[in-house]
Amino acid sequence: MDLMQYYLWIVVFHIMAMMSWMAMLFYQPRLYVYHTEHKNKPDFVEVVKIQEYKMYKYIGLPAMWATVISGLLMIYLRPEMLNLNDPWLFAKLFFAGLLVAYSFSMEYFRKRLEKGIYPKSGNFFRAYNEVPTVLSILIVGYVVVKTFSLLFTFITLLFGAFIIYKVLRQKPKDES
């Protein structure tokens, strides 16, 4: 079977999987904000725990693996994309790797919160919620323009750091 004839369908699947994965990455930290800031409301926390579990296990984790596997399949089918003279794909893969690590950190925090361990504040999770945005801007930028730009990378990271700094500097919400 010649998989190359399905290449564009694999690309479509990759994009759809990535969109589902990003939905979890954008929403999961928000659930952690609610969980942390309402830790003294047991009924509320129990509902949030269910949402955290289902969001990660049923949407985020399968979508992450679908994204990774379909991405690797695309590289397998078009190995010429791994051109050392045009390193955009390497940059994309590097930041996608950081996104995978970030995704696993969501499970780490979920398990801690599930046990009633509150390792971070609501403000931390608000700031941490900006990480996938910054990484996705970089990844999509490289894919669309198919070039690596140190200036684009630097400005995006600087902008992300500024946003995270501003969020962390906010007065903490009333944690109950």
- pLDDT tens per residue across span 24-44: 999 999 999 999 999 999 999
Numbered residues of the known binding site for heme: 14, 92
Given a cut of 60, is residue 174 above it in pLDDT?
no
- pLDDT tens per residue across span 90-107: 999 999 999 999 999 999
Contact in structure between 5 and 29 (CB atoms under 8 Å): no
The pLDDT value recorded for residue 152 is 97
Q: Does a structural domain hold residue 176?
A: no
Q: Does a structural domain hold residue 96?
A: yes
Q: Does a structural domain hold residue 89?
A: yes
**R_g (Cα) of the chain, nearest Å:** 18
C-alpha distance from residue 87 to each of 92, 97, 109, 142, 143 (Å): 9, 15, 33, 9, 11
Q: Does a structural domain hold residue 174?
A: no
Q: What is the pLDDT confidence band of residue 83, given thresholds at 50, 70 and 90?
A: confident
Contact in structure between 71 and 89 (CB atoms under 8 Å): no
Q: What is the mean pLDDT of residues 97-124?
A: 96
User: Which domain covers residue 61, as residue numbers?
Assistant: 3-169
The Cα–Cα gap between 131 and 24 comes to: 13
Numbered residues of the known binding site: 14, 92
Given a cut of 90, is residue 165 above it in pLDDT?
yes
Q: Does a structural domain hold residue 85?
A: yes
Given a cut of 60, is residue 175 above it in pLDDT?
no
The C-alpha torsion from 159 through 16 and 93 to 27, rounded to 10°, is 40
Q: Does a structural domain hold residue 94?
A: yes
Q: Does a structural domain hold residue 137?
A: yes
The pLDDT value recorded for residue 81 is 85
Mean pLDDT of the chain: 94
Given a cut of 70, is residue 132 above it in pLDDT?
yes
Q: How many domains does the chain have?
A: 1
Q: What is the mean pLDDT of residues 110-124?
A: 95
pTM of the full predicted structure?
A: 0.91
Q: Does a structural domain hold residue 160?
A: yes
